[in-house]
């Protein structure tokens, strides 16, 4: 399709054409037919034809085609109307639509018109058709401001663009959108330019923000970003003028605040003129990536092909400069650190970043494999190795001195794993390497039969959690994850698509690694609270408003769970807390708690709970109301300064309640802690505590409390730790067996988890006076100061004694194995060891062996195996007490002498039932049994029956029921002491029924 120039006419001209007479049409057509091009013909029609010569035929041809009835409604930015660009077509068209074609030729166009450029190409004179720099809104190319829009010889002042400036529809739209925004700086006062910081000025660039040099125009150009678009301010001969106008534009369109912020950000000048040269800070060899600098703070800038130095100051990256030489850039970075961060930071940077991993002298080590279940998709199967996607290589790292150190990058995963193992061997020793291998525990369930899953109790299933024990959903992997605790460590079993499969494998792992008993116990623990057939029960309110803490529930058994944002209900069944459920409503939660008590504990327990909570019995039971009305103010009881721990109150009877963020006052009265109140102010709480002491204990108790604090104060406050004149003393090491996991290896030193520091303390003047020596970053420093404090405040003798006591080392290296010393059968309590000198530590989950030497229990060691602990105990007896002591221990424990000594086996088979022997009423102490020969064993939580035979106490057995224990005691008396002894026991209890003990 042949195109012509873009022809623009004014609306008044278009109206004049439409109003011309029909008589002049032929002359106009004849005039146009003699011209060589359609463009010339169009210009002749518009510029040279008088209005009275335009015929109706031409008028119809121009504007009133029956095929295109839509009038032009959208004019150009200058208010002109565009004619169709198709040759010999004079229809008026919308300026911003249709690519300059009328509706007829839009339908016929298959592609770009002949001579028209594609949308992806830029016009050579794009600036001419898009740039609007004058305040009238039009460029000079098609300006209409000649103040002549009439019909006549002056109508045709270049309404058409030149033939080389044909524009596509996309360009029309772009011109209309861009040109619609007019930057107007009239009335804006001059603003000083915004200089760039020296390091930000690239070669050939402007030294001012917002200004660039346009090589094509050979002028300075100012631009500003407004509404996410870059807006051109103008072109300038002078760089400073462009910068001034940019600052004026920021002031007008973004405000004074933005202008001030721009000056603050961009004008930070790195000035190193007064800084002496500093040595560069080299990176550790493993941290240098391919193509990167070997110095810290330096990088290669590819666009300028120069080395770039940058420093982080006040939360912003600041440019120091561009350099041809890498070393120069590194030197200036070190100088900048020295000036803007100080000498300490420079030294620290050298220490951190110049750690060199050197494995040249380390023999090859086999890799440390991860347990199969711990290998995530795409991750390495070896410990210490990961894949770096950016480098497309395997990366090995090791944690040394609290920092991740890069060992290197490798093409091969196995090579990376070998080097990691070598680094562990060198920097952490052989033991750490062995421990790491132990940790790579492989869960192998290939030989384990399927086991049914262990369901959780219904109330313990949180929203989105698994309904099976040992299973949880991993959002990152979008799979079900299974873990099991083995020897105090969480071991990953695997990831599963299906929740049930995951639960089955957890049960199999419990069966294999913890035995069938543990699996059965786990199933017992999955207690299902089922209240389906239980009738509604009224809630059990707590006694008195005073007992209800802020934010707590007013009902028994109910508390608010902040994490779930719901009310949670729990009940104690057989010594275990069972969750009933989570509720939106507090009352519903309380009703279900009452139903659970009714079902699992019975009506009597429910009634008893109500009685305890009854408001009318509050004062008689545990809900005494502390009433201080009418009590005069009392001055607080101040603690001595030396007894005030960090974060604690300086007043007696006052504590800070973290949950409510308030000070709480409490008093001990009639054997129970009584709540006085919660206070915003510490002093108010202390005053009320003193008033409560005055009212409920009397003036004497208040005076005694003050006197006691005065004595403590005079004793403690006068005590000041001063170790300045004490020479250094070697620490007092603990014996190896006395060092618990995570504890210090020195006496008098402990680790404070909250402060993450080592604390040294010493006991002076009894148990009440543990004196704080200080907090230390280093364990050895704390131990030295403890030894100095012992030397000064207890003397050289006490220090020598401490060394002698605490540093006895149990050394069994040269002792041959000895058979264990079994306990007599009757002396083995439930859960205890069957060997002498051995007991189970629940905290460590191991068997401990101890021996008594010089009136002190000496720790031999911790063992996974009970027999190993017993063997070492026997070896210790052999070494430290001799063969004779070992023989005597065996004789005492000899099974043949069990009945003659202290382990008679009580056998009641064949003994008829006997009625219990009740104690006289006055002999029954609180919490004791009402039957003779029976006591409650708190440790095993059972009733115990014992009988004295031949001057020794012998255990009959342990029972759930008090009556069963009493019956067996009576049977034992009948068998081992006879009917007469049983009768006499009954008579004695009958003669003195009311004796008071």
**Between 586 and 622, the higher pLDDT residue:** 586
Task: Check: CB of residue 114 under 8 Å from CB of residue 55.
Answer: no
Strands (E), 642-767: 654-657, 662-669, 672-679, 749-752, 757-763
CB count in 10 Å sphere of residue 351: 11
Place of tokens 């009590």: 631
**Which of the residue ranges 444-448, 770-774, 781-785 would you say has the lowest mean pLDDT?**
770-774
Q: How sure is the predictor about 965, in pLDDT bands with cuts at 50, 70 and 90?
A: very high
Instruction: Kindly write down the DSSP assignment for every residue of 816-848, as one continuous string.
Output: PP----BPPGGG--TTS-SBTTEEEETTTTEEE
CB count in 10 Å sphere of residue 417: 25
Place of tokens 């005492």: 892
Q: How sure is the predictor about 333, in pLDDT bands with cuts at 50, 70 and 90?
A: very high
Rounded-to-integer distance, Cα 948 and Cα 954, Å: 6
pLDDT at residue 326 is higher than 60: yes
pLDDT at residue 644 is higher than 60: yes
Query: What's the rounded mean pLDDT across residues 812-826?
Result: 83
Which range is most confident: 72-81, 145-154, 861-870? 861-870
**Between 160 and 944, the higher pLDDT residue:** 944
Distances (CA, A) of 847 to 449, 812, 822, 850, 939: 31, 17, 15, 10, 18
For the stretch 840-858, pLDDT in tens is 887 677 888 888 887 777 8
Rounded-to-integer distance, Cα 578 and Cα 937, Å: 25
**Which of the residue ranges 14-23, 682-691, 920-929 would you say has the lowest mean pLDDT?**
14-23
**Which of the residue ranges 156-165, 504-513, 873-882 would you say has the lowest mean pLDDT?**
156-165
Rounded-to-integer distance, Cα 943 and Cα 933, Å: 10
Q: Rounded to the nearest 5°, which phi and psi values hold at 137?
A: 100, 0
- What pLDDT is stored for residue 971 in this prediction? 93
**Which of the residue ranges 15-29, 137-151, 672-686, 750-764 would you say has the lowest mean pLDDT?**
137-151
- What pLDDT is stored for residue 223 in this prediction? 93
Percent residues over pLDDT 70 in the chain:
70
CA atoms within 13 A on the CB side of 758: 20
- Model-wide pTM > 0.95: no
Which range is most confident: 37-46, 67-76, 158-167, 361-370? 361-370
Q: Maximum distance among all alpha carbons in the chain?
A: 157
* Contacts (Cβ under 8 Å, ≥6 apart) of 387: 378, 379, 380, 393, 394, 395
Query: What's the rounded mean pLDDT across residues 814-842?
Result: 83
- What pLDDT is stored for residue 148 in this prediction? 39
- What pLDDT is stored for residue 238 in this prediction? 93
pLDDT at residue 15 is higher than 80: no
C-alpha radius of gyration, the chain, whole number: 47
pLDDT at residue 31 is higher than 80: no
Rounded-to-integer distance, Cα 453 and Cα 471, Å: 10
| Token digits of residue 303 | 């666009």
pLDDT at residue 796 is higher than 50: yes
Rounded-to-integer distance, Cα 764 and Cα 771, Å: 7
- What pLDDT is stored for residue 772 in this prediction? 81
Instruction: Kindly write down the DSSP assignment for every residue of 246-278, as one continuous string.
Output: HHHHHHHHH-HHHHHHHHHHHT-----TTPPP-
Strands (E), 694-826: 749-752, 757-763, 770-776
- What pLDDT is stored for residue 457 in this prediction? 66
**Between 39 and 465, the higher pLDDT residue:** 465
**Between 166 and 564, the higher pLDDT residue:** 564
pLDDT at residue 795 is higher than 60: yes
Percent residues over pLDDT 90 in the chain:
17
pLDDT at residue 29 is higher than 80: no
- What pLDDT is stored for residue 605 in this prediction? 83
**Between 115 and 905, the higher pLDDT residue:** 905
- What pLDDT is stored for residue 373 in this prediction? 57
pLDDT at residue 864 is higher than 60: yes
- What pLDDT is stored for residue 243 in this prediction? 93
- What pLDDT is stored for residue 902 in this prediction? 43
- What pLDDT is stored for residue 142 in this prediction? 36
- What pLDDT is stored for residue 953 in this prediction? 84
pLDDT at residue 117 is higher than 60: no
Task: Check: CB of residue 539 under 8 Å from CB of residue 594.
Answer: yes
Q: Virtual CA dihedral for 788, 793, 797, 800, nearest 10 degrees?
A: -30
Pairing of strands 393-400, 385-388: antiparallel
Element (H, E) at 130: helix 126-130
Element (H, E) at 520: helix 499-525
Task: Check: CB of residue 208 under 8 Å from CB of residue 242.
Answer: yes
**Which of the residue ranges 108-112, 417-421, 701-705, 847-851 would you say has the lowest mean pLDDT?**
108-112
Rounded-to-integer distance, Cα 63 and Cα 102, Å: 11
pLDDT at residue 988 is higher than 70: yes
Strand partners, 282: 295
Task: Check: CB of residue 170 under 8 Å from CB of residue 119.
Answer: yes
Q: Rounded to the nearest 5°, which phi and psi values hold at 753?
A: -65, -35
Q: Helix 239-254 crosses helix 256-266 at what angle (to 10 degrees)?
A: 130
- What pLDDT is stored for residue 690 in this prediction? 93
Query: What's the rounded mean pLDDT across residues 433-438?
Result: 75
Average pLDDT taken over every residue of the chain: 75
pLDDT at residue 686 is higher than 90: yes
- What pLDDT is stored for residue 782 in this prediction? 92
Task: Check: CB of residue 43 under 8 Å from CB of residue 83.
Answer: no
Mapped onto helix, strand or coil, the DSSP state of residue 872 is helix
- What pLDDT is stored for residue 996 in this prediction? 37
For the stretch 727-757, pLDDT in tens is 988 888 876 656 766 788 888 899 888 778 8
Which has the closest alpha carbon to 137: 170, 74, 81, 184?
184
| Token digits of residue 126 | 């794009």
- What pLDDT is stored for residue 146 in this prediction? 38
For the stretch 565-609, pLDDT in tens is 889 888 888 777 788 888 899 999 999 999 989 988 888 888 887
* Contacts (Cβ under 8 Å, ≥6 apart) of 283: 293, 294, 295, 296, 353, 354
Q: Helix 603-613 crosses helix 586-601 at what angle (to 10 degrees)?
A: 130
- What pLDDT is stored for residue 706 in this prediction? 82
Q: How sure is the predictor about 168, in pLDDT bands with cuts at 50, 70 and 90?
A: very low
Task: Check: CB of residue 314 under 8 Å from CB of residue 338.
Answer: no
Rounded-to-integer distance, Cα 534 and Cα 242, Å: 85
* DSSP, res 448: P
- What pLDDT is stored for residue 331 in this prediction? 93
Query: What's the rounded mean pLDDT across residues 454-469?
Result: 76
């Amino acid at each position: 399709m042949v195109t012509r120039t873009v022809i623009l006419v004014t609306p008044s001209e278009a109206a004049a054409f439409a109003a011309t007479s029909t008589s002049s049409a032929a002359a106009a057509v004849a005039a146009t037919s003699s011209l060589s091009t359609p463009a010339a013909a169009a210009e002749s029609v518009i510029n040279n034809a008088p209005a009275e010569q335009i015929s109706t035929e031409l008028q119809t041809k121009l504007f009133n085609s029956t095929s295109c009835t839509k009038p032009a409604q959208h004019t150009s930015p200058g208010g002109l109307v565009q004619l169709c660009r198709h040759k010999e077509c004079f229809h008026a068209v919308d300026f911003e639509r249709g690519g300059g074609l009328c509706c007829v030729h839009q339908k016929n166009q298959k592609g770009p018109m002949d001579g028209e450029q594609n949308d992806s190409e830029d016009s050579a004179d794009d600036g001419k058709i898009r740039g609007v720099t004058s305040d009238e809104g039009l460029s000079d190319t098609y300006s209409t401001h000649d103040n002549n829009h009439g019909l006549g010889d002056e109508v045709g002042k270049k309404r058409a663009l030149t033939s080389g400036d044909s524009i596509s529809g996309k360009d029309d739209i772009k011109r209309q959108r861009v040109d619609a925004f007019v930057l107007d700086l009239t009335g804006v006062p001059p603003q000083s330019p915004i200089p760039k910081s020296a390091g930000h000025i690239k070669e050939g660039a402007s030294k001012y923000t917002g200004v660039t040099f346009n090589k094509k125009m050979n002028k300075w150009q100012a631009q500003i970003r407004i509404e996410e678009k870059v807006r051109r301010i103008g072109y300038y001969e002078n760089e400073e003028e462009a910068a001034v106008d940019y600052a004026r534009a920021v002031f007008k369109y973004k405000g004074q605040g933005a202008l001030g912020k721009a000056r603050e950000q961009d004008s930070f000048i790195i000035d190193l003129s007064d800084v002496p040269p500093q040595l560069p800070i080299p990176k550790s060899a493993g941290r240098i990536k391919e193509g990167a600098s070997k110095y810290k703070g330096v990088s290669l800038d590819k666009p300028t092909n120069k080395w770039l130095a940058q420093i982080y100051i006040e939360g912003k990256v600041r440019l120091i400069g561009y350099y041809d030489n890498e070393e120069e850039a590194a030197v200036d970075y070190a100088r900048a650190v020295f000036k803007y961060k100080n000498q300490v930071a420079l030294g620290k940077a050298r220490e951190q970043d110049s750690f060199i991993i050197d494995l040249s002298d380390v023999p090859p080590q086999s890799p440390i494999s991860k347990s199969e279940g711990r290998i995530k998709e795409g991750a390495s199967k070896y410990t210490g190795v990961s894949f770096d996607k950016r480098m497309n290589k395997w990366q090995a790292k090791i944690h040394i001195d609290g920092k991740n150190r890069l060992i290197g990058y490798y093409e091969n995963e196995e090579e990376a794993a070998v080097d990691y193992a070598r680094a562990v061997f060198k920097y952490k020793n052989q033991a750490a390497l062995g421990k790491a291998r132990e940790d790579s525990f492989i869960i192998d369930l290939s030989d384990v039969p399927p086991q049914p899953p262990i369901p959780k109790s219904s109330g313990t299933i949180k929203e989105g959690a698994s309904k099976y024990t040992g299973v949880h959903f991993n959002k990152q992997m979008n799979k079900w994850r299974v873990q099991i605790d083995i020897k105090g460590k969480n071991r990953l079993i695997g990831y599963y698509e299906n929740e049930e499969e995951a639960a089955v494998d957890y049960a199999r792992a419990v069966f294999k690694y913890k035995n069938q008993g543990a699996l059965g116990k786990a199933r017992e623990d999955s207690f299902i609270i089922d209240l389906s057939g239980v009738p509604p029960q009224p809630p059990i309110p707590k006694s008195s408003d005073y007992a209800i803490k802020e934010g707590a529930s007013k009902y028994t058994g109910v508390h608010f769970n902040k994490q779930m944002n719901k009310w949670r209900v729990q009940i104690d069944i057989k010594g275990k807390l069972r969750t009933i459920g989570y509720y939106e409503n507090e009352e519903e939660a309380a009703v279900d708690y009452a139903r659970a008590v009714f079902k699992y504990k019975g009506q009597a327990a429910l009634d008893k709970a109500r009685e305890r909570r009854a408001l009318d019995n509050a004062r008689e039971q545990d809900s005494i109301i502390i009433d201080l009305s009418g009590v005069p103010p009392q001055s607080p009881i101040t603690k001595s300064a030396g007894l005030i721990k960090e974060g604690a109150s300086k007043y007696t009877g006052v504590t800070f309640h973290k949950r409510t963020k308030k000070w709480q006052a409490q008093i001990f009265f009639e054997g129970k802690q009584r709540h006085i109140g919660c206070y915003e102010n510490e002093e108010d709480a202390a005053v009320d505590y003193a008033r409560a002491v005055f009212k409920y204990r009397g003036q004497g108790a208040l005076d005694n409390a003050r006197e006691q604090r005065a004595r403590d104060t005079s004793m403690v406050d006068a005590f000041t730790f001063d170790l300045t004149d004490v020479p250094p003393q070697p620490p007092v090491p603990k014996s190896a067996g006395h060092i618990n996991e995570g504890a210090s290896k020195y006496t008098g030193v402990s680790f404070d988890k909250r402060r993450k520091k080592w604390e040294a303390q010493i006991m002076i003047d009894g148990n009440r006076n543990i004196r704080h020596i200080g907090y230390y970053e280093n364990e050895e420093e704390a131990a030295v100061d403890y030894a100095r404090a012992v030397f000064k405040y207890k003397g050289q003798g006490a220090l020598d004694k401490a060394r002698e006591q605490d540093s006895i080392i149990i050394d069994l290296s040269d002792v041959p194995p000895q058979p264990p010393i079994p306990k007599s059968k009757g002396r083995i309590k439930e859960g205890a060891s069957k060997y002498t000198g051995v007991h189970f530590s629940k905290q460590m989950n191991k068997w401990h062996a101890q021996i008594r030497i010089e009136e002190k229990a000496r720790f031999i060691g911790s063992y996974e195996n009970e027999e190993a602990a017993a063997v070492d105990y026997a070896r210790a007896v052999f070494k430290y007490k001799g063969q004779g002591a070992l023989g005597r221990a065996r004789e005492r424990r000899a099974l043949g002498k069990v009945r003659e000594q202290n382990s008679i086996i009580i056998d009641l088979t064949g003994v008829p039932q006997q009625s219990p022997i009740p104690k006289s009423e006055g002999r029954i102490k609180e919490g004791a049994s009402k039957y003779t020969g029976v006591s409650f064993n708190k440790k095993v939580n059972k009733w115990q029956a014992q009988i004295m035979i031949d001057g020794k106490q012998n255990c009959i057995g342990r029972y759930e029921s008090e009556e069963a224990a009493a019956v067996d005691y009576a049977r034992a008396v009948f068998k081992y002491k006879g009917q007469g002894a049983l009768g006499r026991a009954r008579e004695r209890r009958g003669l003195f029924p009311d004796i008071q003990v």
